[in-house]
Amino acid sequence: MNTPPSVRRSTPPSPVGRSLCALVALLLGLGQATDALELELLAALPIRGLENAQPSGLTMAGGVLFAVSDKHDHAICRIDIRDDGARLEPFITFNAPWSGTWATKLDFEGLAFANGSFYLVSESCLRVLHVNENGGGLDWITPNVGKAATEAGLFGVKNAHLEGIALFGPRRILLAVEREPRGLIEVSWEEGADEDEPQIKAWATDETMLTLPEPRAVDFADLHLDGGGLYALVRNADAVVPIEWSEGHLEELDEWSFRHVVEDSAYAYSNQTFGKAEGLAMDDERVYIVLDNNGQARLADDTDTRSQLLIFTRPD
């Protein structure tokens, strides 16, 4: 992979300093945000290729980035990184089976990969679709999670439902609910249980120590899970947040901010009322964040309406 040279460097506060600030805030009970670590930008790449692309979920498989676009119901796309930009093209095309929901579009918002298969989150169907790496094995592996979510006080805002996915194993899936309130939904199968009857539990998780500008609401835009732990993309805070999650209890461990990049006039879009980060993926060395600008132009060039892929150094 050819990655352009670094265009922004900063000296983040030490991990010890951030931890002490977080501890003081907790002890005082002030609910103040921790000192954010500013992610070091390596590249900000315009995305070419797929027409009307609105990238949402992002995942890494075999060292390659893959994405879904919420305007394209029949494709998993590959992102090729080049010196002058990123190219988004369909990699797998498919026709999803009937979901049991009368939806005019599937609106894929989350994407994960494990053991040779992709898992796509449909916001309109409120289900997870399995697609193997050859485009076969099409199956809705979860039931509609709407009832459990509604009973937990979630899904109160239109078009603010499922956004991200983390796979803890073949029998445990974590789904992120976007906002107002944001939340988490666990779908799990006990050994020997009927595949069509998983346990579904949902929780509202609006509590946060992050600082958000008005009128933004705390949210989840994506989840990422690897050997380093579980991470949430909090779009309206312009941050990646390492989190700990244990059935009903969410703890924000740190804040990796990219606000200094998305507000920089070289990369910013014309309307900055709300955040635009939609997808999160990581490897051992880098953090990848995809922006969905919904066709808005960049401040620096009112003719440029392309989405962007941001690449950062992954903190230790």
pLDDT in tens, the chain (316 residues): 443 333 333 334 444 444 444 444 443 333 445 589 999 999 999 999 998 888 999 999 999 999 999 889 999 999 999 988 999 999 999 999 999 988 889 999 999 999 999 999 999 999 999 999 999 999 999 999 999 999 999 999 998 999 999 999 888 999 999 999 999 999 999 887 777 789 999 999 999 999 999 999 999 999 999 999 999 999 999 999 999 999 889 999 999 999 999 999 999 999 999 999 999 999 999 999 999 999 999 999 999 999 999 999 999 9
Distance CA 193, CA 239 (A): 38
pLDDT at site 114: 96
Global pTM? 0.89
Short-list 76, 168, 151, CA closest to 121: 76
Ramachandran area for residue 14 (φ above 0: left; ψ -120 to 50: alpha; else beta)? beta
Q: Looking only at Cα atoms, what is the longest distance across the chain?
A: 58
Structural domain includes residue 7? no
- The token duo for 185 is 């939904």
CATH number of the domain at 277, please.
2.120.10
Structural domain includes residue 9? no
Contacts of 305 (CB under 8 A, 6+ apart): 293, 295, 296, 297, 298
Structural domain includes residue 284? yes
CA dihedral 233→281→66→124, nearest 10 degrees, is: -20
Structural domain includes residue 8? no
Distance CA 287, CA 227 (A): 14
pLDDT at site 183: 98
* Domain membership of residue 262 as a residue range: 15-313
- Say how many domains are in the chain: 1
Contacts of 94 (CB under 8 A, 6+ apart): 74, 75, 76, 131, 135, 138
Structural domain includes residue 248? yes
Structural domain includes residue 173? yes
Distance CA 179, CA 208 (A): 12
CB 173 within 8 A of CB 166: yes
Structural domain includes residue 190? yes
Structural domain includes residue 6? no
Question: In this structure, what are the phi and psi dihedrals at residue 109, rounded to the nearest 5 degrees?
Answer: -120, -15
Q: What percent of the chain has pLDDT over 90?
A: 80
